[in-house]
Amino acid sequence: MQTAKEIISFQDVAKNYRGGNDAVENINITINEGEFVCLIGTSGSGKTTTMRMINRMIEPSRGKIIFKGKNLKTFDPVKLRRTIGYVIQNNGLMPHMTIKDNITLVPKLLKWSQDKMDRKATELIKLADLPESYLERYPAELSGGQQQRIGVVRALAADQDIILMDEPFGALDPITRDDLQDLVKHLQEELGKTIIFVTHDMDEALKLATHIVIMDSGHIIQDDTPDNILQHPASDFVKELLGEERLLQAQQNTLSVSDIMSKNPAKITLGQSLAEAIREMSLKHVDTLLVTDDNNKLKGFIDLETINDRYSKYSNVSDIYQPNRFKVKTTSYLRDTSERILKQGYKYVPVIDNDNNLIGIVTRASLVNIIYDAIWGSEELDNPEGIKLPDSIAKESDNA
């Protein structure tokens, strides 16, 4: 994606329908080859208007659009549209044409040979994952989901490399929608198609897009990767669109260990005695101490059980400490760490920096709140204290 070629770019584009206010304004978007761009926003925010300017179904009132290196205006609209796939919500299949004729509609306009069209139809019905016998059927003889599969593959019939889709799955039930989302993702990922996709469903956008353009009343509010939008929503509008639950989840996914670790773990140095170790344990109400050398390099740990067993024979920490089986760097993602703690039963994990200096600890207890918030966070009733990340965790882990 980083090295990808620019294929469409909007430059200060505005559209003014006769007599009205600007439907869209200051539109600047750059779309690279192979991207999956989702235009998302509330109804009337200008998504369709923006999308339809790409195949010249709507002409900009101001500004210009560069398409494959040339001003879009230099392309003949009809010829242009035959090179750009087009999928709309209610599939737009011609009821009086068989599935085969529907699929090969554009190739026919381009006067392909019958033989070539037949081969294309067979190829695409397979891509749509429908039996070949369906080619002879009429659209009315297919289910809504099957019709839209045809609607999607029809957009590739003339080997179009760009596909415009305007809320294509809005009318489908969730399971069918999921299947079709997989299909269009496949087109982008495996077949390298560039897809411009209008939706008002944030889940859909986050699932599919490599690049999300958020629109509100004719303006672009934010234009970025899904991750960046989740991490840095540009405004309250975006936050609202994302929803609290998704923001929390995103936070967990990208919180690093240092965000939630306790910075003063109970510890003891190699040179100290076991008596000192026990005193430290009782003082901090813990049964385990991390062991470091005099330079604060992590060496291992020592626990109450071992001390109890061997107290009669040994007197120094250095005699009976054990090395740590598992430790993490400060920069590690919390999601990986939490999985190891929870699944493998560690009670805690020491946190070190790149030079093996002990700088903190993540305990099982400190994970509880994070998990709690991720799972139940949206249900305010179950969360009477209004626990928020990351403050609550910092508090909790400082007590650990």
Partner 1 sequence: MITFLNQHGSELIIKTWEQIYISAFAIILGIIVAVPLGILLTRYDKTAKYVMSITGMLQTIPSLALLALMIPIFGIGKVPAIVALFIYSLLPILRNTYIGMKKVNKNLLDAARGLGMTTMQSIFKVEIPMSMPIIMSGIRLSTVYVISWSTLASYIGAGGLGDFIFNGLNLYNPSLIIGGTIPVTILAILADYLLGIFEKKVTPKTKRSEV
Contact residues: ligand ADP, CB under 6 A: 17, 20, 23, 41, 43-49
Task: Rank residues 48 and 366 by Cβ distance to Mg ion and give the closer one.
Answer: 48
49's contact among partner 1, Mg ion, ligand ADP, none, with CB below 5 to 8 A by partner kind, is: ligand ADP
44's contact among Mg ion, partner 1, ligand ADP, none, with CB below 5 to 8 A by partner kind, is: ligand ADP
Where are the strands (E) in the chain, listed by range? 6-16, 22-32, 36-41, 62-67, 70-71, 84-88, 162-166, 194-199, 211-216, 219-224, 267-269, 288-292, 298-303, 328-329, 348-352, 358-363
45 Cβ neighbours under 8 A, 6+ residues apart: 215, 216, 217, 218
Closest residue (Cβ) to Mg ion? 48
Asked if residue 48 binds Mg ion (CB under 5 A), the reply is yes
Contacts 24+ apart (CB under 8 A), 234-239: 238/214
User: Please, what is the minimum distance in Å from the beta carbon of residue 58 to partner 1?
Assistant: 11
Tokens of 256: 């690093």
248's contact among partner 1, ligand ADP, Mg ion, none, with CB below 5 to 8 A by partner kind, is: none
Tokens of 255: 């919180």
Task: Rank residues 49 and 366 by Cβ distance to ligand ADP and give the closer one.
Answer: 49
Task: Rank residues 197 and 348 by Cβ distance to ligand ADP and give the closer one.
Answer: 197
Task: Rank residues 201 and 245 by Cβ distance to ligand ADP and give the closer one.
Answer: 201
DSSP 54-102: TTTSS--SEEEEEETTEEGGGS-HHHHHHTEEEEETT----TTS-HHHH
Q: How many positions of this chain bind partner 1 (CB under 8 A)?
A: 29
Where are the strands (E) in 147-275, listed by range? 162-166, 194-199, 211-216, 219-224, 267-269
User: Please, what is the minimum distance in Å from the beta carbon of residue 358 to ligand ADP?
Assistant: 54
Report the b/e string of 246-279 with b at 16+ CB within 10 A.
bbbbbbbeebbbbbbbbeebbbbbbebebeebbe
Asked if residue 55 binds Mg ion (CB under 5 A), the reply is no
User: Please, what is the minimum distance in Å from the beta carbon of residue 23 to ligand ADP?
Assistant: 3
Distance CA 248, CA 188 (A): 29
User: Among residue numbers 122 through 151, which ones bind partner 1 (CB under 8 A)?
Assistant: 136-141
Q: How many positions of this chain bind Mg ion (CB under 5 A)?
A: 1
DSSP secondary structure code for residue 33 in this structure: T
Task: Rank residues 201 and 280 by Cβ distance to Mg ion and give the closer one.
Answer: 201
Distance CA 347, CA 300 (A): 15
User: Please, what is the minimum distance in Å from the beta carbon of residue 112 to partner 1?
Assistant: 13
What is the pattern of x (binds partner 1, CB under 8 A) and - over residues 1-40? ----------------------------------------
Residue 302 φ then ψ, to 5°: -140, 135
136's contact among partner 1, ligand ADP, Mg ion, none, with CB below 5 to 8 A by partner kind, is: partner 1
User: Among residue numbers 85 through 124, which ones bind partner 1 (CB under 8 A)?
Assistant: 86, 88-97, 105-106, 109
User: Please, what is the minimum distance in Å from the beta carbon of residue 189 to partner 1?
Assistant: 24
Q: Which residues pair with 8 in a beta bridge?
A: 31, 67
Task: Rank residues 63 and 92 by Cβ distance to partner 1 and give the closer one.
Answer: 92
328's contact among Mg ion, partner 1, ligand ADP, none, with CB below 5 to 8 A by partner kind, is: none
User: Among residue numbers 373 through 392, which ones bind partner 1 (CB under 8 A)?
Assistant: none
89 Cβ neighbours under 8 A, 6+ residues apart: 166, 167, 168, 170, 171
79's contact among Mg ion, ligand ADP, partner 1, none, with CB below 5 to 8 A by partner kind, is: partner 1
Helix then strand then coil, % of the chain, to nearest 5: 40, 25, 35
Note the residues at the interface with Mg ion (CB under 5 A): 48
Residues that bind partner 1 in the complex, under the rule CB under 8 A: 55, 57, 78-82, 86, 88-97, 105-106, 109, 136-141, 154, 164
